[in-house]
Structure 1
Amino acid sequence: MDIATASLILAGALLVLLATGLWVAIALFIVGLIAMGMFTSAPAGAIMATTVWGSISTWTLTALPLFIWMGEILFRTRLSEDMFSGLVPWLTRIPGRLLHVNILGCAVFAAVSGSSAATAITIGKMSVPELTRRGYDEKQIIGSLAGSGTLGLLIPPSIILIVYGVAAEQSIIRLFIAGIIPGLLLAALFMGYVAAWSLLNPDRVPPADRRYTLGEKIAASRRLIPVILLIVFVIGSIYAGWATATEAACLGVVGALGLSAATGTLSWATFRDSVMAATRTNCMICFILAGAAFLSTAMGFTGIPRGLAVWIQELGLSPYALLAALTLFFILLGCFLDGISVVVLTVAVILPMVEAAGIDLLWFGIYVVLVVEMSQITPPVGFNLFVIQGLTGRDILYIARAALPFFLLMCLAVVILVAFPDLVTWLPELATRRS
């Protein structure tokens, strides 16, 4: 049987299984078994056992549950309230005013959370009622929150960057450092759009309710200090080379527990809830990673990835044409799967093509995460859409329409990173030279 037929059979089997509502991890295991049974004579059971154990017993993966736990701890603190109170005095005089709280608040929280959903719900719980009460445009409130919530996937420490690093065998630390500039670029694009929209629609932005003196602004900023210190604590230790990603995650958990205790929100109940929530999330991710690792091994035995890479080479596609095709593919896939599933599901097949095209895998990791961010605000399965629906009570399509300008800004960010790849690679190279 040729490569094309085998690929279609396996892809069709996966789509059918996912359409039935089966867990993604179980669907991956089943398709792997189908591939091993139909196209190879290798012992599927023995290979599954060794592959599953090897995929989830790596030391690199230990950073994942720790960063998830850190985010869960902070989710249960007064962090969002402190950020809102600290940012408001500085934003009342710029175009868009307090709409920027959504963007900056998400950017700050993303830097200590790593989770898109946690970022969106934590900031949204504070900002949506407050901005609505002050008379800001509902679509801009929802759209800016939906778009900015995705920063949790890109600004380090990012859970999905850890997943990509493990799956693609790339340095987690270098990926974290590489995500800093693109994350700030995306936040700047969002703020620029909100400012431009407010200048074009001045009647839809309420006037500033009061003026703040410099002293009041500085006094309010003191509430941001714990958050900024935690960011510096975690990201700075990685960038300076003082800690590995796992060690930095440990520091982050200690810092988050300290911050929670300082704000008076650390209790046995919140501690237990944070541990259980982090355990559930990590088990889900590890189960998907195990299924993806087995499917990757099975695909390797069938020779499909190698055959697809050769096919791509024979097509003579330029790297730009390949990236354009992959962007459409990821957006389409993201309409039906969550971001982590998209990454682990596609890395095994796509990386040989990417390497054959001469694309840097570090750069490609940031590109993948940025494109997967788009899937978080695309119906019908955009996870951030469901989060914001729970906050606002609005239907998914209304939220998706509100988030459309921010989706287009993400597309622009992809174009910018393709045109200027040094925006991704410069900081990791600088860190490598310094070390």
Structure 2
Amino acid sequence: MGTATGARSAWFRPGRLLAATAGAVLLLTACSGGRDGGRAAAGDREPDVTITWWTGQVGEAEQLAEELATEYHALHPHVTIRTSAGASTTDDLLTKLTSGLISGTYPDISYAYGSWAGELAASGRTQDLTDIVRDPAFGWSEMPFAARATAMDGDRVIGVPALIDDVALIYNKGLFDEAGVAYPRNDWSWDDFRRTARRLTDPGRSVYGTAYSVSGSEDTTWHLWPLLWQRGGKILDGKRPAFNSDAGVAALETLRVMAVDDKSMYLDQTDERYGPLFHSGRIAMMMSGPWAMLELKQAGLDYGVTALPGFNGDHQTISGPDLWVLFDHAAADRAAASREFVRWLTSEPVDARWSRKLGNLPLRCPEENTAEFAAYAREYPGARAFAENLANAKQVRPSLTGYAEMSRHVGDAVARVLQGAAGPREALDEAAARSVPALEDS
């Protein structure tokens, strides 16, 4: 655990939502609103206060968080911020938070995947930040729609976006050049994607056109949702599963033919291998997000980014913004101090430094026009394409507490289909039936 106590001057990988029906004052269009940005924290308050911050990060990212906490303490000596990762991995953080909320040992601020938002809001321990984000100086309306919706429980704001992302198509230019194949375009259809994946697959060299996770995790599930939405389908109808519609079956069949019939899709049992295989030239195209750019930079790979392939001209994608969730310990000074720190942490000047160091997209759309974003885009060649692709993030994942269990059932169904163990309709119907109890209890 790090404790910020001295003066020092002033990195993150995503993980992964809320289908919110929020008022127009909060949920505007994808990136609308005046440009005022985040403001610095308010003046010193007495008495001294100590808050805990579970960053959800390890290694270099955690070191940066400690540096920022130390810098904030130098600006506000009455506030001490105790930082720690909170758990050994970000994926383990929800278990730690759930246990802490029961025992009373939860932090003031925690990193959280957007898909956890419903469960955390249901705890009754999250702060209501609605009035904070209504302040024009916060720049809430400048954040993409999906990020704002993910941070909300109905019309109540329970967190502040920590990460902006979307899923696009990343391709290895070297493999395309070697095969004499034209690069992907923003107007590609799934048929274009399938044909090109077949052309780039070379079993003799263990090279695949594309890849997909079959671990059964949310990584397996959430990559299916854009194909579902593009075909006019939806995940839920109220609290009832709707993903097993004709649109859902057709979406999963799109993936099945590539994995089973064409054998042009590398099936990753772990979520952990397809990225490194892409870096090493064994996979030509992968559906991934901005979080991949730091590792691509480190690997020195010449790559390009386009929107996802589409259906009938619809190129919808998915955004899985992550959050800083603030918890209420019934201590007014701690609650206020945590709000002011997160306001500072997500302000434009601090976010610009954080995003560039880690390869993240900026939290606020207008930042794309700044000198800082221009420098960031030069350092990370796919940055502008990912930023533009946010316009295709038109829907969000459900916020019901039963989403996590439903996701596991859908992930298992997708994995079975892509491995040739079931057909799309059979598998999705079974996943829907198994999801009903958890959704009804949400």
- TM-score, normalization: structure 1? 0.27
Q: Is the helix fraction higher in 1 or 2?
A: 1
- TM-score, normalization: structure 2? 0.27
Q: Is the strand fraction higher in 1 or 2?
A: 2
